[in-house]
């Protein structure tokens, strides 16, 4: 075969790869340089035919210009995508950040029709803002049924804990995206909700057989397929009772036989990120790409070494290891997906962005954000927390660098300080706020006297493993109540932690749960608990990096 033909084949193969990039323009602005390619690498790969980019970080204006630049560098029309499961504001400043999907699942139990209406509005808000910024593919909805309360990676990202709720809400969300002219993606096939292991860190092994999957996990995927979902993402999950040798991403039994043939899905199938340890601890970049493609996947997302992966798949096709028909089918599906899209970079949006007069968040988007928080707040005791001259506002958060939920002006800090509560922030980066005494675990003697507002920002988050589940917050509540120090409780995120704490919380203690963690959720949760005072004295907030004797 001539070098020219081989080069053309490589360019065709490259179209099926999606690489990761920062939404910021400059290399030194990348938040995750280990995963996000440099501009030189991006320009080279896109010029060689790479057909997709996953973006994260930056403002909505930066993202718009970034998408325009990437299109200029590309030899082919691009699939430009983002993991914005909770609205554009989750990943890009200037967008609307919405409550996590699990919030609507709880509303669905009492008002299913309202929950479905809100889920569609959720999808429309996300789709409109994504398209306005230049994106054309949203890596959502999550179709996992979160049957394991200790799930460290799905958790509140799921649309529910039962297949019927997930089916209804995920399909409504997809409908909203579709109405705004962007592609959707049902994930993580065939279901990541029962796992106790984060596939970013290790390979989850699940004991369900095909009949058990049919009874639960596959139901939302069937509904999404029937609703016309554009793509399906594989989960890096091993099901020994179905395919004992291959994780889903490289399993012909699960991808071709189950998803493609039995479930009848005709759209794009994309891998989850191949840079995740569930895959990299087993396969090299080239091997993973070849095995996934041979199993029936169409698009290869974020291989650790994209150049090596493209070469490996090209060689596998040339040698006959992978049938050339597979390439033709995948390219055809990609063309069909792109053909369904409206242009995502209209002259009107471009003019607004360049003139810096375009506000991405519309009034209806802000109203949706507020409505979602308001309709999903849960109040245990509607009794105002009294002002205190020497009160303590104790925040537990997932991380600090960067911490998108907190700033100096965040309501979780500013509102308690207005009524006399000094803020102390505990975070897990080398932090150990615990004593050895399991019955009195919090080191209160190091924090000072006075009533304490406890605010817990806890939800299932990738890369944290099971650390959040191991923190003894029930014992902390009992300790604070025993010492008559607990002035109030706010839980942001996990409904499972909230339900556990309610079991030991005194009925007289004011407490609020919000599924969301963003500033709007903080404002509404604390406004329901705090009694403001006139001309409050200024307070300080400090960060506890470690507790020392």
Active-site residue list: 200, 272
Picking from 342, 26, 406, 323, the residue whose alpha carbon sits closest to that of residue 181 is 342
Cα separation, 276 vs 278, whole angstroms? 6
Return the DSSP state at 202: S
Cα separation, 455 vs 355, whole angstroms? 41
Picking from 52, 63, 56, 46, the residue whose alpha carbon sits closest to that of residue 82 is 56
Q: Please name the residue that has the structure tokens 């519309």.
A: 362
Picking from 135, 105, 139, the residue whose alpha carbon sits closest to that of residue 119 is 105
Q: Kindly calculate the radius of gyration of the chain based on its CA atoms and give it in whole angstroms.
A: 24
Tell me the pairing of strands 17-22 and 52-56. Answer: parallel
The pair of three-digit structure tokens given for residue 493, joined into one six-digit string: 């995120």
Cα separation, 274 vs 284, whole angstroms? 9
Tell me the pairing of strands 17-22 and 378-379. Answer: unpaired
- Residue 420, judged by CB atoms within 10 A of its CB (0-12, 13-18, 19+), counts as buried
Q: Is 72 helix (H, G, I), strand (E, B) or coil?
A: helix
Classify each residue of 37-60 as buried b or exposed e, where b means 16 or more C-beta atoms within 10 Å of its C-beta: bebeebbebbebbbbbbbbbbbbb
| Sequence-distant (≥ 6) Cβ neighbours of residue 406 within 8 angstroms | 395, 397, 412, 413, 425
Find the DSSP H helices in 180-305: 210-215, 218-227, 252, 277-280, 285-295
Cα separation, 157 vs 193, whole angstroms? 10
- What is the side-by-side strand order in the sheet with 17-22? 137-138, 79-82, 52-56, 17-22, 300-301
Q: Please name the residue that has the structure tokens 């006399």.
A: 420
Q: What is the DSSP string of 24-37?
A: SSSGGG-S-TTTSP
Q: Is 186 helix (H, G, I), strand (E, B) or coil?
A: strand
Q: Is 453 helix (H, G, I), strand (E, B) or coil?
A: strand
The pair of three-digit structure tokens given for residue 32, joined into one six-digit string: 């995750």
Cα separation, 72 vs 60, whole angstroms? 19
């Amino acid at each position: 075969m001539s070098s020219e033909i081989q080069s053309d084949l490589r360019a065709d193969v490259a179209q099926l790869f999606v690489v990761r990039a920062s939404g910021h323009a400059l290399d030194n602005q990348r938040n995750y340089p280990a995963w996000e390619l440099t501009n030189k690498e991006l320009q080279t790969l896109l010029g060689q035919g790479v057909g997709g980019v996953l973006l994260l970080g930056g403002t909505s204006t930066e993202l718009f210009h970034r998408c325009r630049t990437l299109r200029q560098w590309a030899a082919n029309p691009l699939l430009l995508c983002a993991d914005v499961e909770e609205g554009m504001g989750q990943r890009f400043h200037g967008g609307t950040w919405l409550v996590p999907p699990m919030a609507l699942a709880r509303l669905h139990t009492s008002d299913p029709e309202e929950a479905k209406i809100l889920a569609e509005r959720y999808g429309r808000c996300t789709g409109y803002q994504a398209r306005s910024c230049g994106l054309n593919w949203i890596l959502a909805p999550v179709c996992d049924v979160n049957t394991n309360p200790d799930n460290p990676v799905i958790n509140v990202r799921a649309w529910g804990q039962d297949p019927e709720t997930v089916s209804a809400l995920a399909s409504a969300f997809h409908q909203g995206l579709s109405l705004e002219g962007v592609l959707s993606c049902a994930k993580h096939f065939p279901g990541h909700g029962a796992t106790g292991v984060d596939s970013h860190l290790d390979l989850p092994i699940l004991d369900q057989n095909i009949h058990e999957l049919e009874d639960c996990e596959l139901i939302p995927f069937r509904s999404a397929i029937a609703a016309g979902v554009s793509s399906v993402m594989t989960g890096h999950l091993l099901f020994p009772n179905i395919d004992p040798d291959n994780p889903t991403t490289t399993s012909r039994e699960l991808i071709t036989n189950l998803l493609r043939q039995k479930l009848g899905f005709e759209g794009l199938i994309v891998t989850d990120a191949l840079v995740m340890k569930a895959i990299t601890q087993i396969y090299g970049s080239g091997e993973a790409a070849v095995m996934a493609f041979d199993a029936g996947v169409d698009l290869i997302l974020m291989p650790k070494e994209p150049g090596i992966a493209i070469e490996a798949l090209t060689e596998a096709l040339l040698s006959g290891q992978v049938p050339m028909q597979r390439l033709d089918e995948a390219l055809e599906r990609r063309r069909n997906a792109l053909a369904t899209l409206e242009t995502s970079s209209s002259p009107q949006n471009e003019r607004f962005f360049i003139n810096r007069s375009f506000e991405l968040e519309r009034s209806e988007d802000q109203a949706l954000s507020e409505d979602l928080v308001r309709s999903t707040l849960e109040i245990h005791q509607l009794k105002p927390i009294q002002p205190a001259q020497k009160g303590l506002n104790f925040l537990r958060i997932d991380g600090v660098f960067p911490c998108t939920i907190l700033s100096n002006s965040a309501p979780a800090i500013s509102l308690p300080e207005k009524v006399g509560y000094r803020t102390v922030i505990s975070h897990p980066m080398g932090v150990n706020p615990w004593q050895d005494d399991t019955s009195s675990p919090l080191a209160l003697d190091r924090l000072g006297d006075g009533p304490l507002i406890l605010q817990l920002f806890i939800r299932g988050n990738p890369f944290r493993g099971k650390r959040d589940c191991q923190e003894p917050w029930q014992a902390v509540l009992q300790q604070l109540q025993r010492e008559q120090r607990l002035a109030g409780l706010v839980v942001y995120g996990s409904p499972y932690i909230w339900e556990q704490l309610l079991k030991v919380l005194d009925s007289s203690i004011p407490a609020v749960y919000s599924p969301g963690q963003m500033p709007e959720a903080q404002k509404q949760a604390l406004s329901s608990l705090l009694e403001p005072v006139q001309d409050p004295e200024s307070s300080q907030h400090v960060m506890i990096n470690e507790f020392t004797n």
